[in-house]
Amino acid sequence: MRKLMTATAALCACAVTVSAGAAWADADVQPAGSVPIPDGPAQTWIVADLDSGQVLAGRDQNVAHPPASTIKVLLALVALDELDLNSTVVADVADTQAECNCVGVKPGRSYTARQLLDGLLLVSGNDAANTLAHMLGGQDVTVAKMNAKAATLGATSTHATTPSGLDGPGGSGASTAHDLVVIFRAAMANPVFAQITAEPSAMFPSDNGEQLIVNQDELLQRYPGAIGGKTGYTNAARKTFVGAAARPGRPPPGDRHDVRAGQRGRTDVLGSGCDPVRLGFRPQPAGQRRLALAPRADVGAGAPIMFFCVCWRS
C-alpha cells in the first residue's frame, strides 16, 4: 500500500482567558464519522495533515496565545537561513543577562552558531537565544527578522517580541495553533534543525572544556516514534510544547496511543482526558477543511507518517 508522509498538529491552551465571541475564534472541527473530540484541559488545539493541509480535528486553532519558548523554533529558522554553522561569536555580558533556563554562555568565550543552536533547542537556553541574536545583528534586528520570516511562511498571526520567547517591551508575543504548525513544519524540513531537535544530548563549551546538555523534550523517550520537539514556559503562556513523531504506517482503527509528555518531569502536556494527537494516526474521511499549507516536495511511496503536536497547558 502506498504510504504518504503526513502530519497532525495539536494545540492545547488553558492558561489564557478567551472571549467566546471573538470573530477570529474557530468553532470545533470534527470530521464526519470520526470519534468524538475528547474533553480535557485543551481549550485550543488543532490536528491537521501536514501534506494535504486537511484539518482532522481542532478547537479555536486561530486564537492567539503567548508562545513562550516555542518561538525559538522561529529564531532557529532565521539563524539557519543566515549563519554558517561554523561561524563564531565572542559572547558579551549582555548576552548572558537572561532569565534562565540557560545553557551556560559565558562572557568572553567563543561559540559557534551550531553550539548555540544546540543550546537553544535542547535546553531552551535564553542566553543562547541572546547570543544568536548578537550574531544576527542585535535583539531588535533579530525580532524583526523573525517576524518577517513568520510572514513569509504564512504565519501571519505570529508576533515575536524577543528572540527567546520571554516577555519583552512589546509584551508576551503571540502565535496560534495554525501558525505553529506552519513554522514547525518549515523547521522540520531543514535537515540541521531536524537533526538537532532529535538529539538526546550534545556537548557544550564549559569551564572544564565541555559539558553534557540533555534534551528537555521528554516525548523523545515516552512517545513511540517521536523525532523531536521544543518545550517552553512563561507565566503568561504556562507550559508549552511543540513536537513531531514519525511511524511507518497508520495503526488500525481503535489502536490507542496515550500521549503523556512531562514538561521537565512535572505534568502531562495533553492530559489523560485529551489526546488529540492520536486522532492524527486514525484513518480520516476525505473532504475536510484545509489549512494554508503547501504540499511537500518529498512525498512518496514508503515515506513515514508524521504528526506535529503543539500544546499549551496550565
Residues with active-site annotation = 69, 72, 124
Task: Find the radius of gyration of the CA atoms of the chain.
Answer: 19
Q: CA-CA distance, 67 to 37, in Å (whole number)? A: 24
Angle, to 10 degrees, between the axis of helix 113-122 and the axis of helix 72-82?
160
Q: CA-CA distance, 44 to 58, in Å (whole number)? A: 7
Q: Is 239 annotated as a binding residue?
A: no
Nearest one of 294, 254, 274 to 46, comparing CA atoms: 274
37, three cell numbers: 473530540
- Provide the 10 A C-beta neighbour count for residue 83: 18
Which residues lie across from 290 on neighbouring strands? 54
55, with CB counted inside 10 A (0-12, 13-18, 19+), is buried
Q: Is the dihedral of CA 22, 25, 28, 32 positive or negative?
A: positive
Torsion angles phi and psi, residue 269, rounded to 5: -75, -50
- What is each CA distance from 61 to 146, 192, 225, in whole angstroms? 21, 28, 25
229, three cell numbers: 520537539
In degrees, rounded to 5, the angle at the alpha carbon of residue 183 between the alpha carbons of residues 247 and 134 is 125
Torsion angles phi and psi, residue 210, rounded to 5: -145, 150
Instruction: Provide the CA 266 distance to its chain's centre, in angstroms.
Output: 19
Annotated binding-site residues for substrate read 230
